[in-house]
Amino acid sequence: MKALMLAFFEDEKYKRFRPLTFTRPLYMLKIGGLYFFEHFIRQLNMNRTLLILRPELEKLCYWKVNVVRRLGCIVNKVPDGKLFLLVNARMVPTGDAVNFLQEILSEEKEEDRAWLLGRDVLAMRLKRNTLAGYMKDLQKPSGEVFRRLLAECSKTKVSRRLPLFHDFRDLKQKVVEGILSFSNSPRNTLESALIWGNEENVFVSEKARIEEEVFLDTRSGPIIIEPKAVIKAYSVIRGPAIVGEETQVLEKSIIDGSIVGERSIIGGTIENSFLLGKNIIEDRSLLRSTIIGEYAYVGSGAFLEEEVVLGDYACILPYTRIYENIRIGPLSLVSGFVDKHIPVMKFYSHDEGIVAMSEEEAERLLRSLLYNHFGRLPSSFEIELLKFLAVASR
């Protein structure tokens, strides 16, 4: 149905994915430089997209998708149109999910309807007036909002199992399994064509560079190396793995069963981890089953154990050890032995414990991190986000 516009929303369970969702909606997690929602719109061949965002993220995310990436998305406004297909941010962009949405798009009906999996809302087809009436509520998702919305819809239960993110533990697994089976590459290898491929499931862009004595092991899954990536000598990459665009894998580094996002510098060993991109991982560091937000820095010799999650702009100083199942909030700086969750915008050392960070100190840390490691200064929208994070840190 060509008149139907694709839209993306969060349900109330986005809080399960903090600290990453402090600074983005869940559908703006990245795989190899491509947002989750972009996988859907490209496979469904949809041109116009509506993003429903929490108010504190509206300006920053508008800047990211429409100024930096020039995707032309509509943000928190109800545009002209008769019908809208709202997709839950927790739906994994896989072939099964795309087929499910294509079935909805092919229907010729125009009534409000919701598709459920258990108690989770997978998708909603809403008329413009219905969406307009709930737009403000959807920007602050809660269970009550969806209960009222579902009361207006003709509910249809989905009996088959579709992939939804439920927590951090299955996020990595579903991303690696789902995306690598969904297509041969998340982005540019499909656009610029896979220039080098072979029976061993190694896919390398013609613009990537692999130096001498690099070992690519595909016994457990495919390896995808995107444009302008550089794999330096004596490195090891074991599939399933994606190395994002413009990422450098330093000499003698190991990437094992992991997705590494765009424009990162990777040293040490990365095992079964998911890096969103623009990350600095110094040499001799070890990351196991870790999820890392954008612009996070991990110093030399650091050890991150199982199920660690770093928020955006987090700084892990050299030789820090973070124990398993620990969350580090955005713009926090930690050192020593970390055995407790670190909230947003905090200093932490093993001797002094958790120390509050002022807004001025956080801005200095942000400027120093971005300038010294990524060659830029923060945007006004990132500075403005500090005010929200400062409130969240209290």
- Reported as a single tens digit per residue, the pLDDT across 201-237 is 788 878 889 988 899 988 888 888 888 999 999 999 9
Report pLDDT digits (tens) over 288-327.
Answer: 989 999 999 999 999 998 889 999 999 999 999 999 889 9
**Same domain for 275 and 203:** yes
Q: Which residues contact 171 (CB under 8 A, 6 or more apart)?
A: 17, 165, 274, 291
Q: How far is CA 113 from the centre of its chain?
A: 28
Number of structural domains (the chain) is: 2
Q: What's the DSSP call for residue 18?
A: T
Q: Does the structure show a pLDDT above 70 at 76? A: yes
CATH at 253: 2.160.10.10
> Closest Cα partner for 354 from 344, 368, 364?
344
Q: Model's pTM, two decimal places?
A: 0.84
User: Of 144, 166, 188, which residue is a domain's last?
Assistant: 166
Mean pLDDT of 8-12: 91
Residue with tokens 């700084």: 315
Amino acid 184: pLDDT: 44
Amino acid 158: pLDDT: 74
Amino acid 271: pLDDT: 92
**Same domain for 112 and 48:** yes
* CB distance 24 to 8 below 8 Å: no
Give me the half-sphere count of Cα atoms (radius 13 Å) on the Cβ side of residue 59.
11
Q: What does the alpha-carbon distance between residue 270 and residue 278 come to, in Å, rounded to a whole number?
A: 15
Q: Does the structure show a pLDDT above 60 at 180? A: no
Q: How far apart are the first and last CA of the chain?
A: 47
Mean pLDDT of 247-255: 94
Q: What does the alpha-carbon distance between residue 392 and residue 54 come to, in Å, rounded to a whole number?
A: 14
**Same domain for 160 and 175:** no
Report pLDDT digits (tens) over 109-150.
Answer: 778 888 888 778 888 888 888 888 888 988 988 888 888 888
CATH at 129: 3.90.550.10
Tokens of 377: 């200064």
Amino acid 200: pLDDT: 65
**DSSP bridge pairs for 87:** 8, 123
Exposed/middle/buried for residue 277 (C-beta within 10 Å: 0-12, 13-18, 19+): buried
**Same domain for 221 and 107:** no
Distances (CA, A) of 39 to 13, 26, 35, 59: 22, 14, 7, 23
Please name the amino acid found at residue 27. Y
Amino acid 172: pLDDT: 65
Does residue 326 come out as left (phi exceeding 0), alpha (psi in the -120 to 50 range) or beta?
beta
Q: What does the alpha-carbon distance between residue 263 and residue 279 come to, in Å, rounded to a whole number?
A: 7
**Same domain for 51 and 99:** yes
Dihedral pair phi/psi, residue 111, rounded to 5°: -85, 160
Amino acid 393: pLDDT: 66
**Same domain for 286 and 148:** no
Amino acid 171: pLDDT: 72
Amino acid 107: pLDDT: 80
**Same domain for 16 and 56:** yes
**Same domain for 162 and 186:** no
User: Of 137, 166, 195, which residue is a domain's last?
Assistant: 166
List strands edge to edge, sheet with 333-334.
209-210, 230-231, 248-249, 265-266, 280-281, 297-298, 315-316, 333-334, 346-349, 353-356
Q: Which residues span the domain enclosing 294?
A: 170-392
**Same domain for 307 and 195:** yes
**Same domain for 200 and 114:** no
**Same domain for 207 and 128:** no
Please confirm whether the linkage preceding 19 is cis (ω < 30° from 0). Answer: yes
Q: How far is CA 270 from the centre of its chain?
A: 17
Distances (CA, A) of 215 to 126, 142, 206, 239, 307: 51, 48, 18, 11, 27
**Same domain for 14 and 157:** yes
Tokens of 112: 């409000």
User: Of 166, 192, 211, which residue is a domain's last?
Assistant: 166
Tokens of 20: 């990453």
Q: Does the structure show a pLDDT above 70 at 346? A: yes
